[in-house]
Amino acid sequence: MAGFHNEPPIKVGVIGAGNMGRNHLRVLASMPAFSLTSLYDPDAMVARQQAAIYGITACESLEQLYDSVDAVHVVSPSFLHAQHACMAADAGCHLLVEKPIALTLEDADAIIAAARQNSRVLCVGHVERYNPAIVTLKDIVAQEEVLSVDFQRLSPYDGRIGDANVVYDLMIHDLDVLNWLMPQEPARVNSHGVIVFSNQLDYAQAIISYESGTVASLTASRITESKVRKANINTRNAYINVDYLNRSIEISRKTRFNLDVGYQAQYLQESIIEKVFVPFKEPLVTEFEEFARCIHNGDTPATNGETARKALMLCEQITKGAFVTFANLSETINS
């Protein structure tokens, strides 16, 4: 991240003091690349409480926030991202928008256009892209012929996210990683889903296939008591297991040898298992460093508006397919 450490800190504010917003506040307050100055939340009491922790201003309006900073982290509910991000860009602020960039392609396009028209940096919070395990995985996969990918992202239900189904809330992380690992366009998308505790999909599965023959399977759940974040990849020469939470990678490779002892013998041939060293660094720190670097250097972030839109487009396809199959299944059961 060389090239911006001698630059003055970027004055930054945060919109939203919910669970994720508090993570943004915590990390920004610890980074010398930023000067955390203000925050806005429609709940004035929450805003004052969080502002007091960091010694910053609890703004009474969005306009007050925009006027006091050079960059804004938009961590408000997803359906408000377009409104808040476009206003910030028009006010001259650089943008870091939490994922999903928006809940519709129209809103995503509006954010992208506002950032472009105002010559502002737009970074989108697809934080798994900055997970050291995934960064290491990218280098490994580049040397392999990928046959299949299986993502599992499972969580208990907590009711915290009310404006997005499980595809936009959870699966989108793995869709963005998949797009990064597999730069080719999907040929076919099939999906299924179940509504359990909310009025939206709480469990979804998708199969994405490519013209190359590669197949990707994705499962996202917010009805599972165990928290799971894993990716399993089959290549022509190896099986790769990635644990996002433990930031660990294990690679099982085929062994190729002949044992000649001069007489008929039986022996056990086992795979070689590599345990890849993954350096630890909090992904949010790396993501925010990327944002700061791009502000100073004028570069495009790795997780930008276009990559976020691509993941969002898959979310839309998967959701539509899952609702169709769920509705057809319900109709069959009730008939």
* 133 and 276 housed in the same domain: yes
pLDDT confidence band for 70 (50 / 70 / 90): very high
* 179 and 323 housed in the same domain: yes
| 44 vs 333, more confident | 44
Average pLDDT, whole number, for the chain? 90
Domain count of the fold of the chain: 2
> Of all residues in the chain, what percent carry a pLDDT higher than 70?
89
Q: Which domain holds residue 43?
A: 10-120
204-249 confidence digits (pLDDT tens): 999 999 999 999 999 999 999 999 999 999 999 899 999 988 889 9
74-107 confidence digits (pLDDT tens): 999 999 999 999 999 999 999 999 999 999 999 9
pLDDT for res 207: 97
Please identify, among 71, 100, 120, the residue that sits at the C-terminal boundary of a domain: 120
pLDDT confidence band for 254 (50 / 70 / 90): confident
* 142 and 264 housed in the same domain: yes
pLDDT for res 158: 80
Q: Is the pLDDT of residue 300 over 60?
A: yes
What is d(CA 312, CA 306) in angstroms, rounded to the nearest whole number? 10
Tell me the whole-structure pTM to 2 decimals.
0.88
Please identify, among 120, 145, 179, the residue that sits at the C-terminal boundary of a domain: 120
